[in-house]
């Protein structure tokens, strides 16, 4: 394979699931130089140890780091033990309380063990930015600050919004982007990765590298994964997350509860399946040649396998089926016949007099009280799809069950 074709292959592999690469042509040039000189690129992603547990939202970025690693590049998992003392203002409406050194050390140790569920421990460089930031003298910090203007710092939306609302901004918060940028100087980073909320900080890194006579890094941003409800980003504080250290059964069960559209999003960001195959899965579901529940089971099994191994993944599938079949479902269930391949769930519930009104059905969906085959339905526009002879169990609240079956 020619170098140009290999560059194209690597670039396409790295771009999958990404939001933005700044600049794409620069990344292609770096990849080509790496191949020609047989010299790996330096890839960096920083993590402030603000929480001890990693969830699937974090793994979107870590998986992309693994992709760089698979291509032979050097990956630095940078723990921001120094910047954690400042507190990242990204996405904040108020000053983030600084962490104590004890909290940082404790969380950093937890991170180190969890990331190796994805990254290769033999190939991963774990570093701490206190190694160089803690060594900066006050004179050197002032020189660093002189390389960037207050006007540029205040361009970031977080600060602009707080100024407009009269909310305070502490002076130490202005240092954060510069400290993160200096990480890229110290490591001579070729590519820095982060979520979309980190774009401003990553771009500052490009500017500061140029000020130090270095070639500017590529900014590679990844999306913020939607939580289980598909509305807001995955977050422990919103209780819509899947922790990678949770028991296999819990991971599998949580993933089986997501909506069908969100399932394909998870396929894109949490697996190595190609976009062409994901599009095929969607088409098969749309044409009725494959059932979304089976596709979801495959996804859940793949993710459990990533973190717990094949044996535990198989056990999780078996346990989910066992629990579902023995979850107090009565032997005699009222059957609700339907005709045609699709039926809007709201229409079905009201037309078949399962609930007296669409308003009550909407309310129950919003309260999380309607399930199909054990999966919570949270979309009021949900459309049920059934093959001839296929049936599904509709559950309302805790005790009302209906068997929905399609007839020709």
Domain harbouring 301, CATH code = 1.10.240.10
Query: Do 261 and 347 fall within a single domain?
Result: no
Does the residue 21 lie in any domain?
yes
- CATH code assigned at 194: 3.40.50.620
Q: Which of 287, 305, 325 is the last residue of a domain?
A: 325
pLDDT in the model for residue 202: 94
Instruction: Return the residue matching tokens 């590049």.
Output: 73
- 196 and 265 part of one domain: no
CATH of the domain at 353: 3.10.290.10
Going by their DSSP bridges, the two strands 74-79 and 218-222 should be labelled as: unpaired
Give dist(CA 392, CA 378) in Å, integer.
Answer: 17
325, 356, 376 - which closes a domain: 325
Asked, for residue 238, whether it belongs to a domain, the answer is no
**Do 181 and 133 share a domain, yes or no?**
yes
Residues 151 and 256 in one domain: no
140 φ/ψ angles, rounded to the nearest 5 degrees: -70, -35
Tens-digit pLDDT profile for residues 335-390: 888 888 888 888 888 888 888 788 888 888 888 888 888 788 888 888 888 877 78
Instruction: Please report which helix (H) or strand (E) contains residue 359, including its range.
Output: helix 358-366
Q: How confident is the model at residue 92 (pLDDT cuts 50, 70, 90)?
A: very low
* Residue in this structure with the two tokens 């707080």, named with its chain if needed: 162
Check whether residue 343 and residue 321 sit in a common domain. Answer: no
Residues 164 and 263 in one domain: no
Which residue has better confidence, 157 or 8? 8
Residue 300 has pLDDT above 90, yes or no: yes
What pLDDT band is residue 93 in, cutting at 50, 70 and 90?
Answer: very low
84 with 125, same domain?
yes
- Tell me: do 173 and 253 sit in the same domain: no
In a domain, 228, yes or no: no
Asked if residue 288 is part of any domain, the answer here is yes
Based on the fold, state whether residues 283 and 341 are members of the same structural domain: no
Residue 240 counted as domain residue:
no
User: What's the farthest any 2 CA atoms get from each other in the chain?
Assistant: 80
Domain end among 304, 325, 346: 325
Q: What is the DSSP letter of 169?
A: -
Domain count of the chain? 3
Domain interval for residue 272: 248-325
> Does residue 363 share a domain with residue 317?
no
Span 148-157, average pLDDT? 81
Instruction: Determine which helix (DSSP H) or strand (DSSP E) holds 101, and give its type and residue range.
Output: helix 101-114
Is 243 domain-assigned?
no
d(CA 239, CA 3): 46
Q: Are the CB atoms for 309 and 302 separated by under 8 Å?
A: no
Q: Are 321 and 354 contained in the same domain?
A: no
Mean pLDDT across the chain, nearest whole number?
87
Nearest to 111 by CA among 40, 183, 177, 61: 61
* Residue 154, in any domain of the structure: yes
Q: Do both 156 and 286 map to the same domain? A: no
State how far the Cα of 38 lies from the Cα of 72, in Å rounded to an integer: 10
Residue 165 lies in a domain: yes
């Amino acid at each position: 394979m020619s170098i140009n074709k290999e560059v194209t292959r690597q670039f396409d592999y790295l771009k999958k699931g990404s939001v933005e690469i700044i600049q794409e042509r620069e990344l292609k040039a770096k990849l080509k130089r790496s191949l020609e000189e047989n010299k790996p690129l330096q890839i960096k992603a920083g993590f402030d140890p603000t929480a001890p547990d990693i969830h699937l939202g974090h793994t979107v970025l870590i998986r992309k780091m693994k992709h760089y690693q698979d291509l032979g590049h050097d990956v630095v998992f940078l723990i921001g033990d120094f910047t954690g003392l400042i507190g990242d203002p990204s996405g904040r409406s108020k000053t983030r309380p600084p962490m104590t050194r004890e909290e940082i050390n404790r969380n950093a140790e937890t991170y180190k063990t969890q990331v190796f569920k994805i990254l290769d421990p033999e190939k991963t460089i774990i570093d701490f930015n206190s190694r160089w930031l803690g060594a900066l003298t006050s004179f050197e910090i002032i020189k660093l600050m002189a390389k960037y203007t207050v006007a540029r710092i205040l361009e970031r939306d977080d600060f602009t919004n707080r100024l407009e609302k009269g909310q305070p901004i502490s002076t130490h918060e202005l240092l954060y982007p510069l400290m993160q940028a200096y990480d890229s100087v110290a490591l001579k980073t070729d590519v820095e990765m982060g979520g979309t909320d980190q774009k401003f900080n990553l771009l500052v890194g490009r500017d500061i590298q140029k000020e130090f006579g270095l070639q500017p890094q590529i900014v590679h941003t990844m999306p913020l994964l939607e939580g289980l409800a598909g509305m807001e980003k995955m977050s422990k504080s919103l209780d819509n997350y899947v922790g990678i250290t949770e028991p296999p059964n819990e991971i599998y069960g949580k993933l089986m509860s997501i909506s069908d559209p969100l399932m394909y999003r998870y396929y894109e960001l949490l697996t190595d399946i190609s976009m062409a195959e994901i599009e095929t899965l969607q088409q098969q579901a749309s044409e009725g040649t494959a059932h979304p529940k089976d596709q979801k089971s495959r996804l859940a099994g793949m993710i459990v396998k990533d973190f717990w191994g094949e044996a535990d993944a198989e056990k999780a599938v078996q346990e989910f089926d066992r629990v579902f079949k023995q979850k107090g479902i009565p032997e005699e269930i009222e059957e609700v016949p339907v005709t045609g391949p699709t039926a809007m769930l709201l229409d079905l519930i009201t037309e078949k007099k399962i609930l007296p009104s669409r308003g009550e059905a909407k309310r129950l969906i919003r309260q999380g009280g309607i399930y199909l085959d054990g999966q919570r339905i949270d979309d009021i526009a949900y459309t049920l799809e059934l093959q001839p002879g296929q049936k599904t169990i509709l559950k309302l609240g805790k005790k009302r069950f209906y068997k929905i079956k399609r007839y020709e």
